[in-house]
Amino acid sequence: MTICTDSTPSLISPNIHSQQWEHPPVKLGILASGNGSNFEAIAQAIADKKLNAQIQVLIYNNPNAYAAKRANNWGVPTVLLNHRQYQQREELDRNIVATLEKYDTDLVIMAGWMRLVTPVLIDAFTDKIVNIHPSLLPSFKGIKAVEQALSTGVKITGCTVHLVCLEMDSGPILMQAAVPVLPDDTLATLHARIQIEEHRILPMAIALLVR
């Protein structure tokens, strides 16, 4: 199991150009609960040859998740694991692990995955699970990160790509991007600007890890 440590923010902005790859692509299993714009950003980065990876499977937990439609458009296999059909989180995670293994996954990406993880998943993919969170961690953990940024009145927020450990939104930080909070920002406008940065740094952070 990954031990949670205090994470030290690091601002890294590598310039990743299109290139020929020396190694086989890393095999990604992506977990998403909703819209899937981060899934799309990863798929596009692969298509643009900015990321040496291959998406093996999209696992989604909400039957109406638009992420599944996006995966279909990219020809990526999808598996619905509806959390409502499992009594315990561990049971859901056992099915996630079995699916990721079936699709021969090297690296797991939580791209808007709105479920808490258990040791079942963490132990099966130790230090191989990446999450994107819409705040500059360790500020504003949890599901209402953008709301928290607005209500506390911070002038800068952003997004964080980090490794996942058992404690929510607390694993080692891989990459962050800052986003200013504007005086007339609403939840929608601020989140939209944060997402522009998410789509930029999530593929970039995966590319760094893969290297």
Alpha helices per DSSP H over the chain: 37-47, 66-74, 89-102, 119-124, 145-152, 187-210
Closest residue to ligand GRF, judged by C-beta, is 112
Which one, 32 or 100, has the nearer CB to ligand GRF? 32
Residues 61 and 115 sit within 8 Å (Cβ to Cβ): yes
Cβ contacts of 186 within 8 Å, gap of 6 or more: 150
Which one, 94 or 115, has the nearer CB to ligand GRF? 115
Which one, 97 or 202, has the nearer CB to ligand GRF? 202
Which one, 19 or 71, has the nearer CB to ligand GRF? 71
Q: Write down the least CB distance from residue 90 to ligand GRF, Å.
A: 22
Distance between CA 166 and CA 117 in Å, rounded? 7
Q: Write down the least CB distance from residue 39 to ligand GRF, Å.
A: 6
Q: Write down the least CB distance from residue 205 to ligand GRF, Å.
A: 13
Residues in the site for ligand GRF, rule: CB under 6 A?
32, 34-38, 111-112, 132-134, 159, 195, 198
Residues 114 and 88 sit within 8 Å (Cβ to Cβ): no
Which one, 112 or 128, has the nearer CB to ligand GRF? 112
Q: Write down the least CB distance from residue 36 to ligand GRF, Å.
A: 5
- Indicate the burial class of 16 (C-beta count within 10 angstroms; 0-12, 13-18, 19 or more): middle
- Indicate the burial class of 58 (C-beta count within 10 angstroms; 0-12, 13-18, 19 or more): buried
Known catalytic residues? 133
Q: Write down the least CB distance from residue 76 to ligand GRF, Å.
A: 14
Residues 94 and 136 sit within 8 Å (Cβ to Cβ): no
Residues 140 and 149 sit within 8 Å (Cβ to Cβ): yes
Cβ contacts of 106 within 8 Å, gap of 6 or more: 26, 27, 28, 128
